[in-house]
Amino acid sequence: MKKAIKLAVFDIAGTTIKDNSNVAESFQHAFLNHGFEKVTLAEANEKMGYPKPLAIQAILSNHVTDKASITLDLIDAIHEDFVQNMIDYYLTTPGIAPMDDAESVFESLQDLGIKVGLDTGFSRDITDVILERVGWKKSTLIDFTVCSDEVERGRPYPDMIQVMMDRFGITDPKEVIKIGDTEVDINEGRNAGCLMSIGVTTGAFSEEDLLKHHPTHIVNSLTEILDLIRK
């Protein structure tokens, strides 16, 4: 007998919030500001979804020969630049909005008795600016949010999903689905043992890119998730 789904965990940028590659550009610029002019937009985009301090360390390791020069102070400085860039972006840029079908899907899931969670590679300071901007900070459409700086291990580890499961008293990951637009979203869901780990093509990667990471499903819009759940 198929278990009832109790929790749907969504990524934020590129999945439930329109992105347009601005996150990757801000990430790249944080490196450029510290003299790492060879960091490409493709490199920055490849690390979307990861906790940003870990992503910074990984990218730096590709650009320096003396690994001892990758200090915590340097990582923190680049991360602080990125955080401020993102806060300024989400505070001031026109057009910051939910994906067209996000809110209706959240409402439909809740009507089915499914909790709606958001998790992200962003830290809490950036996340709260986004949620406030789109009216989700106190919205009943979102049941719970977890950020990468609030757990010991960010994505692709399952820690954020496990925090949500604990919050709602869910012990079986087969009662949980994960939805996101990056490799680490898919691997997070798989590592957590979720019933579905769904890749969505609205953000950083194409269907071809996402398929390399073995999602259980690929969708082109969030509304398709409702069809998967009802099967």
Looking up tokens 């909790």, which residue turns up?
115
pLDDT surpasses 80 at 153: yes
Query: DSSP for 12-73?
Result: SBTTTB--TTHHHHHHHHHHHTTT-TT--HHHHHHTTTS-HHHHHHHHHHTT-S-GGG--HH
pTM: 0.87
Q: In this predicted model, what pLDDT tens digit does every residue of 214-229 receive, in sequence order?
A: 999 999 999 999 999 9
Q: In this predicted model, what pLDDT tens digit does every residue of 67-105 receive, in sequence order?
A: 889 999 999 999 899 889 888 888 888 888 999 999 999
Cβ 198 vs Cβ 179: under 8 Å:
yes
What are the structural domains, with CATH classification, of the chain?
7-18+97-230 (3.40.50.1000), 22-92 (1.10.150)
Q: In this predicted model, what pLDDT tens digit does every residue of 179-217 receive, in sequence order?
A: 999 999 999 999 999 999 999 999 878 999 999 999 999
Residue 21 is predicted with a pLDDT of 63
